[in-house]
Structure 1
Amino acid sequence: MTKHTKLGLVGLALSLSTLVTYGQDNLVNSLKNNQSDNSKAAFKFTEVINLANTPVQNQGSSGTCWSYSTNSFLESEMIKAGKQPVVLSQLFTARNAYVEKGKNYVRMHGAVSLGDGGALHDVINMYRKYGAVPQEVYTGLNYGTKTNKTGELGDIEKGVLEAVVKNANGELTPNWIKAYTGVIDAYLGQVPENFTYNGKKYTPKTFANEVVGLNADNYVELSSFNDHPFYSKFTLLVPDNWSFDQVYNVKVNELTDIIDNALKTGYTVAWATDVSEKSFSWKNGVAYVPAVPFADMTMAQKAEMFDGPKPEMEITQENRQLAFDNYQTTDDHGMHIVGSAKDQTGKEYYIVKNSWGATNDYKGYLYVTKNYVKYKSTAILLNKAGIPGAISKKLGL
């Protein structure tokens, strides 16, 4: 996926898939100026809701945030269902998505997104089709690295598929998919046909059915755009929606109404969003939408962006749509909303679990304002039981 450089962030062209090109280290380095030494002391957060979730993970130099965030979401779904959570293999999901993505790429003659990137629904789709395995069974670390490093794999995947699309034989052979899958498995490892977990033998499908025990049909994905009828489904027009999945369309304020209701009823939410704003600070673990655009700020205002709560821009259906249409909001990253909080002024935030390791001020978590979520979300995914009844009825769920 190729992204457009955003205003005020020359050279930073981020997406779920281009994280593999830049790598996590480069991503974090590119955001290193979005921070303040005084931030943690200047914000006083009080937790309102903090739902159970599994330990923070590190996606390494890969664009697999969509898999980390939504598998984390499924782990919290296990907890909500009264099950003992299992850290699920994010690379098992990604590996299967790479296979399916390669099939689509060939069928589309190369005219579709490729790379590490994906969408929240990809995890649900792969869970439904392939099942799940514990992370300890399939780490995806098959050549000595301690964390993911998938840049070379991505380049070779692309080379193989481009050769297939070129179709030098005049017709496709039955072996191309074996060759392509072989490349993936050489880097990530072959998926076990069966494995032993807690003394019992499983296949990925039986593990999903018997241990994870979640119904893929319980999950829905939503977004908010002006150019489609509300309360209907439409194809989410972001490059990483390689499977052309459809999502439900709701009004912008309903995005946060849905998240609020989900959290109050014990359900967490998977979140696809844009993280390349100057008002997103990974180090400080804070994200908001400043009332004054960054380009119009004085030097003093820029220096104090994270020195305590600041006024925010009002978010409307119109300015949200404009930001998306102008490539100012793009599908950069996937994370996991696990709770809510308030700062010392009473402003509401969501507690968000990231997959960049426990390296920031809040050990891998962030506090993100409601306005940021309204403005910068490309999609949310949750258990349909967490949607308010009135909205659920409008959606026909």
Structure 2
Amino acid sequence: MKKTVMTFVLAGMVGFSALAQDDLINSLKGNQSLTAKEGFQFTPVINLDRTSVKNQGSSGTCWSYSGNSFLESEMIREGKEPVDLAEIYTARCTYIEKAKNYVRMHGNLGWGDGGALHDVVNMYDQYGALPQEVYNGLNYGTDINRFGEMQSALKGMLDGIIKNKNGQLTPNWIKAFTAVLDSYLGEVPETFEYKGKTYTPKTFADEYIGLKADDYLELSCIPNEPMYEKVFFPVPDNWSFDYTYNVHMDDLTAVIDNALKNGYTVGWATDVSEKSFSWKNGVAYVPEMDYKYMTSEEKETMFNGPKPEAEVTEAMRQEAFDNYTTTDDHGMQIVGLAKDQLGKEYYIVKNSWGASNDYNGYLFVTKNFVKYKSTAILVNKNAIPKKIYKG
């Protein structure tokens, strides 16, 4: 997932659960632009605690923002005061591990900002975590993430290392690579003070945050693979070659519904390239008619109120994945459930593009869209119905 946004910068301060919920509720009450908000009337049914909306800036780190936001909500759910986790620390750790595989694969692996939701849990387990106030990743004179120059430098360096004429690699290349990350993102402190106690990144994760990586499971729906077991997750940003737990399409929303009902938020990886996904209007759905067959008037009124949706099948889902109309674009967090004025249910989704749309950084997504366009979800194992995952 590597969707990048450069507009509407937010300060990096955390806002705790009540404030985050109020941001959404206030957006439903007023300050409306002349958009879909005139035609939709959303009423929250489940509105779970979470931290405030952040902005990933000009970086494809949505997976880290959504995954860390998910962990922050897990802290809240467990009755802990949430920490504003350093998303770029997680990304930095990921780039080190990705670089190792990139070199091992002689460059035959995608390189860039992109990652997956499982990377957040994996890096948390391997490297620990840092608070945002300790590591903001802005060591190069900007107030938001701007990774273009850094990633060009990193890829050029790795490609040069692979093509070296010495006939073999020395271990020094990892030190050199890390030094570049230090230059752009800042050095990682060996120890730091937080609320009167000294931690390392690992002890901070283990002792202060206290979440267990083994409690989380990534699920997907790949119909042509065995069901209810782990299968390879075939997306370009799966640089770590992880496996996901494979379920039927309807199971995805059944898991999300069960999670929300029981107080668990969900990490969501999805395609956002569809014309029926509108960030500005804050709505995503599956139109009955393909966009290319719509009249000009139908295109212009796609978001002027609730619309009938196409029925989605697993065959449709797999075809879209195989023909590249579903791609692993973006990661967000599902934090609640709402109904429109006709009683139809939508998931409330927290994004990481700042408070830059009609709903202060949130989106309302139909269940059909989630079934059709999800590439994976990340959830606490305890939130999964036993008939789907016995664990």
Same fold (TM over 0.5): yes
* Residue 68 of structure 1: aligned partner: 65
Q: Deviations over 1:291-334 (max 9, x none)?
A: 11100101110000000000111011100110000100000000
What is the rounded CA distance, in whole Å, between the counterparts of 1:309 and 1:180 in structure 2?
50
Distance 1:171 1:299 in 2: 60
Whole-Å separation in 2 of the counterparts to 1:300 and 1:164: 55
Q: Among 142, 149, 154, which residue is 1:145 paired with?
A: 142
Identical-pair percentage: 66
Q: How far off is 1:52 after superposition? A: 0.1
Corresponding position: 1:294 with 2:276? no
Match of 2:269 in 1: 272
Write the letter of the residue equivalent to 2:6: Q
Q: What is the CA distance between 1:354 and its match in structure 2?
A: 0.1
Whole-Å separation in 2 of the counterparts to 1:25 and 1:84: 30
1:117 is aligned, of 111, 114, 117, to: 114
> TM-score normalized by structure 2?
0.92
Q: 2: CA distance between counterparts of 1:133 and 1:25? A: 26
Query: Does structure 1 residue 78 correspond to structure 2 residue 78?
Result: no
Q: Distance in 2 between matches of 1:55 and 1:47?
A: 17
Shift of 1:376: 0.4
What secondary structure is seen at the aligned counterpart in 1 of 2:387?
helix
1:205-234 Cα offsets, whole Å, 9 max, x none, are 111011111000000000001110111111
> Residues of 2 paired with 1:192 and 1:339: CA distance?
36
AA aligned to 1:77 is E
Separation in 1 of the partners of 2:176 and 2:307? 54
The residue that corresponds to 1:5 in the other structure is none
Q: Which AA in structure 1 matches 2:336? A: G
Shift of 1:200: 1.3
Report whether the alignment pairs 1:197 with 2:194. Answer: yes
Q: Give the Å deviation of 1:46.
A: 0.8
SS of equivalent residue, structure 1 residue 309 = coil
Partner of 1:57: 54
How far, CA to CA, are the matches of 1:76 and 1:105 in structure 2? 33
Contact persistence 2:7–2:356 (CA under 8 A): no
**2:334 counterpart of 1:337:** yes
Q: Which runs of 5+ in 1 are unaligned?
A: 1-15, 27-35
2:211 to 199, 214, 233: 214
Structure 2 residue 290 is the aligned partner of structure 1 residue 308: no
Distance 1:392 1:346 in 2: 30
Aligned-partner Cα distance in 1 for 2:171–2:215: 36
Q: Which residue of 2 aligns with 1:101?
A: 98
CA distance in 2 between partners of 1:101 and 1:390 (Å): 35
For residue 376 of structure 2, the aligned residue among 369, 379, 397 is 379
Aligned to 2:244: 247
Q: CA deviation at 1:167?
A: 2.6
Q: How far apart, in 2, do the equivalents of 1:83 and 1:75 lie?
A: 9
Deviation of 1:25 (Å):
4.6
Decide which of 125, 129, 133 is 2:126's aligned counterpart.
129
Q: Which amino acid in structure 1 is aligned with residue 238 of structure 2?
A: N
Specify the code of the residue in structure 1 equivalent to 2:368: N
Structure 1 moving runs of 4+ over 2 Å: 23-26
* Paired residue type of 2:379: L
Query: Considering only aligned residues, what root-mean-square deviation do their CA atoms show, in Å?
Result: 1.2
